[in-house]
Amino acid sequence: MAQLAESVVRLIEALSKLPGIGRKSAERLAYHILRVHRTEALALADAIRNVRENVRYCSDCYNLSEGDRCVICSDPQRDPSLLCVVEQPRDLMALEQAGVYRGLYHVLLGRIAPLDGIGPDQLTIEPLIERVRNGQFQEIIMATNPTVEGDGTALHLSNLLAEFSVEVTRLARGVTPGSILEYTNKDVLADALAGRQKW
């Protein structure tokens, strides 16, 4: 690629590091960015800078947030007796899009995955236990993904939560085993939530 301007080469290299973007796609994206209107291209650059400079994890639930506490934790209309535990912010987003849940969330920022070297200590489990200890939750809904690792994580959590007088439930199996929450149809998610079962 000696014949390409160095900044174009750098852009292609940066884009090809994105998940699911191979060399060819990175080149296509780079040429697209060079072709579109300058303001559109710079808006993309600004959006990336903005998200990295202003977005952090909510100090209560570990959802993505622009302030100390996220919009859900700051919303007085949410039911503080319900807590839904998810693996990632994108799972939370999928459940929010289903539009049937009015409680609070806790984002683990991963799942226990011994084969990948991810143990309980690398997740936000300790803050979760603290929240349950100090909160007024009546029900904890396990909404980890229905995968071996997601189920294992939920089982680990339910053992830890056994000492508290809260009901632990999990999503109904409308969510196909092995499927990933973020890709599940929102009606199926709404059904899984409505039909949640006791652990």
| DSSP H or E stretch at residue 95 | helix 89-98
Least separation, in Å, of the C-beta of 104 and Zn ion? 7
Least separation, in Å, of the C-beta of 114 and Zn ion? 28
Q: Please identify, among the stretches 19-27, 59-67, 94-102, 189-197, the one whose residues bind Zn ion according to the rule CB under 5 A.
A: 59-67
Q: Which residue number, 11 or 123, has a Cβ lying nearer to Zn ion?
A: 123
Q: Please identify, among the stretches 24-32, 53-61, 75-83, 155-163, the one whose residues bind Zn ion according to the rule CB under 5 A.
A: 53-61
Angle at 23 between CA 18 and CA 46, to 5 degrees: 40
Would you count residue 182 as binding Zn ion (CB under 5 A)?
no
| DSSP output for 21-76 | --HHHHHHHHHHHHHS-HHHHHHHHHHHHHHHHH-EE-TTT--EESSSS-TTTT-T
Angle at 125 between CA 122 and CA 127, to 5 degrees: 110
182 vs 180: CA distance, rounded Å: 6
Would you count residue 12 as binding Zn ion (CB under 5 A)?
no
Q: Which residue number, 11 or 106, has a Cβ lying nearer to Zn ion?
A: 106
Q: Please identify, among the stretches 18-26, 37-45, 73-81, 124-132, the one whose residues bind Zn ion according to the rule CB under 5 A.
A: 73-81
Residue found under tokens 């929010």: 96
Q: Which of 61, 84, 92, 154 binds Zn ion (CB under 5 A)?
A: 61
